[in-house]
Structure 1
Amino acid sequence: MGHFQKPGSTRVLEQGPGGVVRRSVLPSGLRVVTEQIPGARSASVGLWVQIGSRDERPEVAGAAHFLEHLLFKGTAKRSAAEIAEEIDAVGGELNAFTSKEHTCYYAHVLDEDLALGLDLVCDVVFDALCEEKDFETERGVVLEEIAMRDDDPEDLLHDAFTEALLGDHALGRPVLGTEQSIEDMSRDALYGFYKRRYTLPRMILAVAGNVEHATVMRLARKAIGDRLSREGSPVAPRAGRARIASARKLVLHTDDTEQAHLMLGVRGLDRHDERRFAFNVLNAALGGGMSSRLFQEVRERRGLAYQVYSSVGLYADTGSLSIYAGCQPDRLGDVAGVISSVLEEVAADGITDAELARNKGQLRGTLVLGLEDTSSRMSRIGKSELNYGDHLSVEQTLARIDAVTVEEVAALARELLRRPVSAAVVGPYASADDLPAQVHEVIA
């Protein structure tokens, strides 16, 4: 495991025709991971922080995401306008995103502008002022974002489904927080969250592109400065078993939409489970593409929905397998019934050899095609270090996908697809009693 690498040392993690991946562990606990990609013309810089919405107490729900907004509002040496002007002047991108388990601040620039990209990312993460007036401005922006989520049935549905599946557990709460929690939050509470949680041992600096590891190290030392003199050990990747009480089985959001939006699913595997490659093959077979069981049954054969797909969520200590469909409100019962019968069939009989081959090919292609740009490479090395403290090369990952057997997928389908089903619906239904009987039968 990478977090046992000796502080002050650098190690080559992968060396291939595509590039070289190196990791340095600094005495401060910060890890720097780079992928040198000869022939690339750009560089992507990401500062990953192992802090997400699951780390918030209920009274500061939404703090990690709120903070992500606030840090761009000005630092000790740059105003918000100057930050924007400097990245625009080189045609680059500077942004951030928050998830349930981590936050990432990133820049994508031409390789010759690496120094600026890295300096901007470090400046906003380490030196943001978080002033009261900016805090109030961004409070309004975050409330607008929550309102926008509420206006988008699919976004609203995802949060409702997570609540149905995971209930009161921190993973079951929305990343954005609630209107109430954002309105009640004080600047001091948010600033305290920032200062306590944003520490070097929880961070990984990941850089991919036409870059030299030694150059990245030099630029990082310059940008982060004296903070690197503090001693610390890297925080180990999250692990464990989530203790989740049985959640509400059904969450309904009444909304006067043209379509009914349905998401249903079961608890899945956590990301440390060695069967996660088989889990991805199972997901692809169920609803991962146009040849998948659900797409063929729901859309192609019956024309019940325009969009139907399945997806997996992998967390440190639990996971999810979910299925989405959007349809006319009077077809919701039929859609739920067909989805249920597809799940029963796969639970009983597994998938065919032809499906296995096709879906392994799909996963291989998606993985390799997804690594065509430096941003996705940066994301891959940063997430691997954060989630596993380890690095699987592309070849090793492809080998793990290739090793999946029909029997493994069948055993997993038997175990997962017979677990209790949770569901969420957004649509023109006044109460759960108005939902078709088939929806209630699926979650019974």
Structure 2
Amino acid sequence: MNRAMRPTLLPAQRTGNPPVDRAAARSRSGGGGRAVTRALGGTVRRTVLPSGLRILTEAIPTTRSVSFGVWVAVGSRDETRPQCGVSHFLEHLLFKGTHKRDALQISAEIEAVGGETNAYTTKEYTCYYARVLDADLPLAIDVVVDAVADSILTPADVETERGVILEEIAMHDDEPGDEVHDLLARAVFGDHPLGRLISGTEETISPMTRAQIQGFYRRRYTAPSIVVAAAGNLEHTEVVRLVRAALRGGPLDTGPAAPAPLRSAIRPVRTRRTGAVVEHKDTEQAHLVLGCAGLGRLDERRFALDVLNNILGGGMSSRLFQEIREKRGLAYSVYSYFSQYADAGIFGVYAGCAPGKVDAVLELIRAELAELAAHGITEAELARGKGMARGGYVLGLEDNGSRMSRLAKGELLFGDLMTVDELLARVEAVTAADVNAVAADLLSRPMSLAVVGPFDDGDFAAA
């Protein structure tokens, strides 16, 4: 199964409209024994079942396929320290067998019609999905919903997947370009769950029992915390009927309840003091990330941050790429990025270079950050950064899987769904002053450093 390391989240909260009365919406959709359906604009529709489970679809009749996903508002940040990795462990196990199908049947039934299934875990949600021909959507819904709702988690399967996950952890440790981003999260968030590995560690996975996993499964995988999303050649009412049929009589076929509220962002995550985290490895290339605590996903400055990121290190025309790679040839790969959570965020600049060039690359990165924070951007950079943002949003929605993800993330992470036109309008409204303000704030913050390569902690004592 895939493990999402740095999820990219589409901004999807509607702004400029009257606030949504969440309490009223819950009271309308949470009881009475019948599903409540409403249109969200265009061909997007949303139904809330009496159990609190939500179903969103987007009809795209010009395609011959459908992407279908079950999204659960549970991720690695919902784990205690001894549970670290249980969400990811569970993700593996849910495809191992139910009361209706064994592991082979789950995969064979989908592959027999040319479809595909997969899953991934992030820090705030877990997704199980399938992509099939439109005629095979009933099968996909039955298989995926069955797996998520009614998996058995046999002791034998737990032991088998434990070994698989330990191998996955070892494989990740052999990929320093990925590992360094986890080190930055630890440097910024410390022992907070956002600073821990999604996969867990050998120390937490090895002793984890079936009872612990089963308890987490039944406590956390509840109907109000689940969003079902589908996009493609479909009919909303038929999807709702099929989902209800797949749920009937199972653990998620529960009594009236309201959908779970959005993850709280009332208490900001405390971050660590700055410092360097170094993982010594005899690699031919050094991998480094300089970064800091960023913006939460509901921060109104997130559109300006996206434009800023494009200007600083989002492409081949960015300042970092031009200065460090094109002009000086000091690194093959250099870019900036950001990840956003309900109550926190992280911003980083990555570079991969020869160990002997680390000091020079770090000096140039710091200089570019200081320059941008102090003097801001040009109008030409603003236009280019906004153009990249517009293209990224729209081109990223050119397949059914992306559209399905957009529906689910809008519901789970933002509680609302912005239309593409509204999204583009928000990008267009970003001014140079907006970007400069974010740059002055974010890029002048104390930075932490993560390094994987042939170094020791003392090599970056002054970093």
Question: TM-score normalised by the shorter chain: which range applies?
Answer: over 0.9
Which residue number corresponds to residue 360 of structure 1? 386
Q: In the alignment, what sits opposite 1:276?
A: 302
* Equivalent residues of 1:168, 1:247 under 8 A apart: no
Q: How does 1:17-32 map to 2 (within 5 A)?
A: 20-32=43-55
Residue 400 (str. 1) matches residue 423 (str. 2):
no
User: Deviation of residue 84 (structure 1)?
Assistant: 1.2
Distance 1:147 1:242, change over 3 A: same
1:238 aligns to 2:263 (yes or no): yes
* Residue from 212, 217, 234 that aligns with 1:211: 234
Alignment check: 8 A CA contact 2:268 2:343 kept: yes
Partner of 1:334: 360
1:306 corresponds to? 332
- The partner residue of 1:76 within 99, 117, 125 is 99
* 1:220-263 superposed Cα distances (whole Å, 9 cap, x missing partner): 11001134341111111113233314246211100010000001
3-state SS of paired residue (2:198): coil
Instruction: Please name the residue that 2:416 is paired with.
Output: 390
Amino acid paired to 2:100? K
| Aligned partners of 1:44 and 1:374 also within 8 Å | yes
- Aligned to 2:40, the other structure's residue is in SS state strand
One of 293, 296, 305 as aligned partner of 2:319:
293
Among candidates 120, 123, 127, match of residue 97 of structure 1: 120
Aligned to 1:107: 130
Specify the code of the residue in structure 2 equivalent to 1:9.
Answer: V
AA of the residue aligned to 2:334: V
- For residues 337-382 of structure 1, the C-alpha deviation after alignment (integer angstroms, 9 at most, x for no partner) is 0000000000001111101101111111111111111000000110
Deviates more, 1:117-126 or 1:130-139: 117-126
Q: Which amino acid aligns with 2:402?
A: S
Higher helix proportion, which one? 1
Give the C-alpha shift of residue 334 in structure 1. 0.2
Report the Cα offset of residue 36 of structure 1.
Answer: 0.6
Structure 1 Cα separation of the partners of residues 280 and 108 of structure 2: 43
2:143 corresponds to 1:117: no
Alignment partners' CA distance in 2, 1:247 and 1:195? 37
- Find 1:43's aligned residue among 62, 66, 79: 66
Structure 2 equivalent of residue 418 of structure 1: 444
Provide the residue aligned with 2:225 in structure 1. 202
How far did residue 320 of structure 1 move?
Answer: 1.1
Secondary structure at the counterpart of residue 108 of structure 1: strand
> SS at 1:334's partner residue?
helix
CA drift of 1:3 comes to 5.1
Q: What one-letter code is carried by the residue in structure 1 that aligns with 2:396?
A: G
* CA pair 143-229 structure 1, distance change in 2 beyond 3 A: closer
TM-score by length of structure 1 reads 0.96
Q: Deviations over 1:401-440 (max 9, x none)?
A: 11000000001111111111011000011x22234xxxx5
Give the alignment's Cα RMSD to 1 decimal. 1.2
Q: Which runs of 5+ in 1 are unaligned?
A: none
Give the match for residue 87 of structure 2.
Answer: 64
Work out the CA distance in 2 between the residues paired with 1:30 and 1:128.
18
TM-score under structure 2 normalisation? 0.92
The DSSP-based 3-state class of the residue aligned with 2:311 is helix
**Aligned positions, number:** 433
Give SS of 2:320's match. Answer: helix
Q: Can you give the 5+ residue segments of structure 2 that lack an aligned partner in the other structure?
A: 1-19, 30-34
In the aligned structure 2, how far is the partner of 1:55 from the partner of 1:231?
A: 24
**Inter-partner Cα distance in structure 2 for 1:176 and 1:155:** 13
